Amino acid sequence: MTSPDLKELGGPFALLKKVLVISRATLASQFAYVGEQVVRTTFLVLILYIFTQLWNATDRFQDVREATGFSIPQLIWYLAFTESIIMSAAGIRGTSVDHDVRTGDLAYRLTKPIPYPCFQFGSDLGTRVFRFFLNLAVGIGVSLAVVGPIPLAPLAVLAAISLTLLVFVVDWIWVFSISVLSFWIEDTFGIHLLYRRLLMLLGGMLLPLEAYPDWLRSVCERLPFAYMVYHPSRLFVLDRPDGFLHAVGVVLILGIVGLIPALLLYRLGLRQVSAQGG
């Protein structure tokens, strides 16, 4: 018989509120080490400077705008945006789910009145949003210093940021699917590494897809990775939000497709928990 005076959980809005509160707390905890976070962005400064030199050198032999459809300042601003997306992930794994499973911290998280994936999602999203905007601020500063301003369309920028936030949600779902494999395999680092590298190379992190050879471009356009990196970054430097709705639709489908294995693996994985001993 169930105890008559049990407290009951709130509905979906209560759950959403919990996720947002967790995100806010993670965001706050990121400020504890804001100095370290800024130091991390030095890589961004370096890579933007190097690429400016490379594009300038290339431009002497071939017209960059003609080859890529983007001016050199646009390419640098594009790179600042793609790097902000990639570097905002917390390490190669992008989440601490693997760590929680391996160390047994999962046990504590499971005993809270919020489903573990929701807790982790809130926590990872807070970190990622903080890092993204910090990287973007630094990236814009460096871009202004090395190539000067480019004309930005407020609507396109808004579309780029909105799509990026949606991408973070979908990327988290895919990363979570990989992480829950740690219920069965010792270390998922290799799979995470492969996923991140595919995002970088086939997603158009260093160059927009227009700069790729035709055959590679057509391959990349058919793969999901470009929707996670290239499309939001392209929107950022364009003067109008072309292709925004199409990209949102594809990213949503990617999210739904990723959600099925993520939840299935998680439910199966919970039965595998073997937290023997202390």
**Placement of tokens 């936030």 in the chain:** 165
- Which of 245, 252, 265 has its CA nearest to residue 176? 265
Longest dimension (CA), the chain: 81
Which of residues 25 and 158 has its CB atom nearest to another protein in the complex?
A: 25
Asked whether position 274 contacts another protein by CB under 8 A, the answer is: yes
Asked whether position 270 contacts another protein by CB under 8 A, the answer is: yes
Asked whether position 113 contacts another protein by CB under 8 A, the answer is: yes
Nearest approach, Cβ of residue 96 and another protein (Å):
12
Asked whether position 112 contacts another protein by CB under 8 A, the answer is: yes
DSSP string, 3-41: -TT------HHHHHHHHHHHHHHHHHHHGGGHHHHHHHT
31 burial class (0-12, 13-18, 19+ CB within 10 angstroms)? Answer: exposed
Asked whether position 22 contacts another protein by CB under 8 A, the answer is: yes
Nearest approach, Cβ of residue 204 and another protein (Å):
34
Q: Which amino acid is at 116?
A: Y
- Which of 155, 130, 166, 167 has its CA nearest to residue 235? 155
- Distance, CA of 248 to CA of 250 (rounded, Å): 6
Nearest approach, Cβ of residue 127 and another protein (Å):
11
**Placement of tokens 């929680």 in the chain:** 100
Indicate which single residue of 12, 60, 111, 151 sits in contact with another protein (rule: CB under 8 A): 111
Whether residue 84 contacts residue 135, with contact meaning beta carbons closer than 8 Å, is answered with yes
Which of residues 28 and 193 has its CB atom nearest to another protein in the complex?
A: 28
Which of residues 154 and 277 has its CB atom nearest to another protein in the complex?
A: 277
Asked whether position 13 contacts another protein by CB under 8 A, the answer is: no
> If residue 146 lies in a helix (H) or strand (E), which one and from where to where?
helix 116-147
Indicate which single residue of 114, 140, 144, 263 sits in contact with another protein (rule: CB under 8 A): 114
- Contact letters for another protein, residues 69-108 (x by CB under 8 A): -----------------------------------xxxxx
Applying CB under 8 A, the residues found at the interface with another protein are 1-4, 6-10, 14, 17-18, 21-22, 25, 28-29, 32-33, 104-108, 110-115, 270-271, 273-278
